[in-house]
Structure 1
Amino acid sequence: MFLVDWLYGILTSLGFSQKKAKILFLGLDNTGKTTLLRMLKDKRLAQHEPTLYPTSEELNIGTITFKAFDLGGHQIARRVWRDYYAQVDAVVYLVDATDTDRFPESKRELDALLSDESLANVPFLVLGNKIDILKAASEEELKYHVGLSNFTTGKGKVNVKDSNIRPIEVFMCSIVRRMGYGEGFKWLSQYIK
């Protein structure tokens, strides 16, 4: 904890202030949304029951305090996603990279989110989860199947202030192996205002 406090003090003295953000964790059921939220919250891996009701957690990552909402991914839960779009700063959309049979369904949901006017300027971090499993799709395969092959903005810093570009990028990850999602959140944090 001392190191976190020290780092926060350094960042604050350099002019970085604590930002607050509202982030939605979305995706089909069984993609790892709750597992990721719990991993970010308390760094512990655990088996979770399917999310039946929306839940929220406050997370501190670097100089950003996130109010993260896990809304569930089963069909009934997807009906309430829209109720949470107001004043959202980012969307983290998870895809099970091993469940190729559900890629079309995941694409439909992602397309609906990306075409919703109330999310028009919201950055999207798409996480292809479960890459620790041998049959997981590659990043290029996942991008193709969810319709993002030619629509991602790049993993570096993209100046979107003077353009009509929505930041969107795919990062492959394994929540259980604690890899890949950190780079995704680092990328996303540059677009939190």
Structure 2
Amino acid sequence: MSSKESTGELGEPPPTLPTVGTNLTDLVVNRKRITIRELGGCMAPIWPSYYKDCEAVIFMINAANPTQISSSCIQLLSILTAEQLEQVPFLVLFNKVDLSCSMSLVEMKSLFRMDDIIACAKQHISLLEVSAWDGRGLDQVFKWLHSHHKGRYLP
């Protein structure tokens, strides 16, 4: 039996790699063009140079990698306390919920003490579980983007 037969029509999923550097992507959500600037975690030292242009922040956390929890929490707290982002809405995504080793939303909220963070933050913070691999939760991400980002309406 071939690997395609054993894993279904699509075969094995490709390996994923963390974002290195910065990527620009334009999305169209309900006729609204939204530009996403993706900055990898290793780029954290330069993140502040992009704050002035932010209309919304999406902060993605790997829910299947418990060894990164503390550094992710420190990075999240750092950007939440940035003066330039005080009025910017935040969406915190717990990604890779499709993996059997991923932590639940309840576990992640507890480890991050998200209730305390939300209570103290000046920004509006939303939380979602997603899987970039199988698309779970992505419709909610698009709804959030549409409602929290000015964007430009297309003709």
Alpha-carbon distance between aligned partners in 2 of 1:47 and 1:57, rounded to the nearest angstrom:
21
Deviation at 1:69, TM superposition (A): 0.6
Retained in 2: the 8 A contact 1:132–1:174?
A: yes
Counterpart selection for 2:131 from 165, 171, 174? 174
Moved more, 180-189 or 102-111: 180-189
Retained in 2: the 8 A contact 1:152–1:170?
A: no
Q: Which has the higher contact order (CA 8 A, sep 6+)?
A: 2
Is 1:73 the counterpart of 2:41? The answer is: yes
Alpha-carbon distance between aligned partners in 2 of 1:136 and 1:46, rounded to the nearest angstrom:
18
> After superposition, what is the alpha-carbon deviation per residue over 1:31-71, rounded to whole angstroms, capped at 9, x for unaligned?
xxxxxxxxxxxxxx965654333221211111321111111
Retained in 1: the 8 A contact 2:29–2:146?
A: no
Match of 1:64 in 2: 32
Is 1:101 the counterpart of 2:67? The answer is: yes
Q: For residue 121 of structure 1, give the secondary structure of its aligned residue in structure 2.
A: coil
Normalising by structure 2, we get a TM-score of 0.78
Q: For residue 59 of structure 1, give the secondary structure of its aligned residue in structure 2.
A: strand
Give the direction of change, closer, same or farther, for the CA distance of 1:54–1:65 in structure 2 (3 Å limit): same
Is 1:117 the counterpart of 2:74? The answer is: no
Match of 2:6 in 1: none
Alpha-carbon distance between aligned partners in 1 of 2:80 and 2:130, rounded to the nearest angstrom:
22
Give the direction of change, closer, same or farther, for the CA distance of 1:68–1:115 in structure 2 (3 Å limit): same
Of Structure 1 and Structure 2, the greater helix share is in: 2
Retained in 2: the 8 A contact 1:51–1:71?
A: yes
* Unmatched segments (≥5 aa) in structure 2: 1-12, 151-155
Matching of residues 1-193 of structure 1 within 5 Å? 50-74=18-42, 77-152=43-118, 166-193=123-150
Q: Pairwise CA RMSD of aligned residues? A: 2.2
Equivalent pairs, count: 137
Letter in 2 for 1:86: K
Name segments (4+ residues, structure 1) moved above 6 Å. Answer: none
Give the direction of change, closer, same or farther, for the CA distance of 1:53–1:72 in structure 2 (3 Å limit): same
Alpha-carbon distance between aligned partners in 2 of 1:55 and 1:168, rounded to the nearest angstrom:
23
Deviation at 1:134, TM superposition (A): 1.1
Retained in 2: the 8 A contact 1:171–1:181?
A: no
Give the direction of change, closer, same or farther, for the CA distance of 1:188–1:166 in structure 2 (3 Å limit): farther
